[in-house]
Copies of this chain bind each other. A is one copy, B any other.
Amino acid sequence: MEQIRGSQSIEFTQAPFLLSSASVVGSKESEGPLGKLFDMVNQDDLFGAQTWEEAESTMQKEACVLALGKAHVDAEKVRYLYGGDLLRQGIATSMGVEALQIPMFGLYGACSTSGEALALSAMSVAAGYGEYMLAVTSSHFGSAEKEFRFPLGYANQRPLSAHWTVTGSGAFLVGTQKSHVRISGVTVGKIVDYGLKDSQNMGACMAPAATDTIVQNMKDFGRNPEDYDRIITGDLGYIGQSILFDLAKGKGYDIKSKHMDCGMTIFDQETQDTHAGGSGCGCAAVTLAAFILPKIEKGEWKRILFVPTGALMSTVSFNEGASVPGIAHGIVLEHC
């Protein structure tokens, strides 16, 4: 039987396993440090579609089909799908996974959604609600700029604190069959609001939530940073990372030597002009699928804490002067 731990966590004793994963990305991601590791790359970022939104949906579908194919599991054997994206009313997901015809739960957790989807998939498998669950998230640079910022045609300048939204989708098949990666626990995040209002500095907006979830994970499981080979945030970027280090240290946890950020890993800041780092629901997802999971599978990393981070805002909340709170969900992944 699963156990609740501390105030926000669950430990899975007969843990669900990560059976397969897939990553689909665009051209810029393929030119970055992880470029050779992704499963599928499309060079014009449209994936054969007419719009960026359709392209994003296509990425989600392809990522799901690839993850299923790798595990030799038919879509109809998947009990429930948990998915989300950054667009208003989650249309990238609705239109993307429709063809799979898997009963589904639509999610929104900004860039933390891959953590949310993995947590709910793991919770559902561990509870015996099905043999297979599918978790999928996506983001697309074109659709995200249109959704949150300026039309790309304006060619406006981006501040150095801005992130570059990853064009990518990651899908994960979670199930009961044994594999080399198990999800041993989750820490569900709270909304944390330090009152920041600069939506062009999302790293600063999300760092308090990342700190809160990481520290809570340590407390709930009675662990220290040394108990993890890596503590991996989603997309804090360079600015968010330094704030995370300070805040965590203030709470008694020095995580510097263990920390990695997907947004800082997926792009080369110097040559790719991506400023603070990558971001988006796809950033943490494709980095997990292509870079992190293989290291856990091989046993190079024995236990990691994966913490996708989200900034909760919309153009409406921004225009109305609301602050940008953050949320982060923690997933404990172990080699087995």
Residues of chain A whose beta carbon lies under 8 Å from any beta carbon of chain B: 1-2, 4, 7-8, 10, 50-51, 53-54, 79-80, 84, 86-91, 94-95, 97-98, 101-110, 116, 119-120, 123-124, 126-130, 146-147, 188-191, 193, 312-317, 320, 322, 325, 327
Assuming the contacts A188-B104, A191-B104, A325-B98, asked whether A129 and B313 have C-beta atoms less than 8 A apart, the reply is no
| Copies assembled | 2
Give the contacting residue for A128; candidates B1, B80, B315; CB below 8 A.
B1
Give the contacting residue for A91; candidates B116, B127, B314; CB below 8 A.
B314
* A104–B110 alpha-carbon span in the complex (Å): 13
* A208–B322 alpha-carbon span in the complex (Å): 38
Which B residues are CB-close (under 8 A) to A193?
A: 98
Are A128 and B316 closer than 8 Å at their CB atoms? no
Which B residues are CB-close (under 8 A) to A129?
A: 2, 4, 10, 123, 127
Of all chain B residues, the one with the shortest Cβ separation from A101 is B190
CB distance from A62 to the nearest CB of B (A): 17
Are B101 and A109 closer than 8 Å at their CB atoms? no
Are B51 and A88 closer than 8 Å at their CB atoms? no
Of all chain B residues, the one with the shortest Cβ separation from A316 is B53
Are A128 and B2 closer than 8 Å at their CB atoms? yes
Give the contacting residue for A313; candidates B2, B89, B106, B312; CB below 8 A.
B89
A-B pairs with beta carbons under 8 Å apart, 22 shown: A2-B127, A2-B128, A4-B130, A53-B316, A53-B322, A54-B320, A88-B89, A88-B147, A91-B312, A91-B314, A94-B191, A94-B327, A95-B312, A95-B325, A103-B190, A105-B107, A105-B188, A106-B312, A107-B108, A123-B123, A127-B129, A146-B316
Which B residues are CB-close (under 8 A) to A86?
A: 89
CB distance from A16 to the nearest CB of B (A): 12
* A88–B146 alpha-carbon span in the complex (Å): 13
* A119–B86 alpha-carbon span in the complex (Å): 23
Of all chain B residues, the one with the shortest Cβ separation from A106 is B108
Assuming the contacts A89-B88, A108-B108, A123-B127, asked whether A95 and B53 have C-beta atoms less than 8 A apart, the reply is no
* A116–B105 alpha-carbon span in the complex (Å): 7
* A4–B189 alpha-carbon span in the complex (Å): 28
Which B residues are CB-close (under 8 A) to A108?
A: 84, 89-90, 106-108
Of all chain B residues, the one with the shortest Cβ separation from A117 is B105
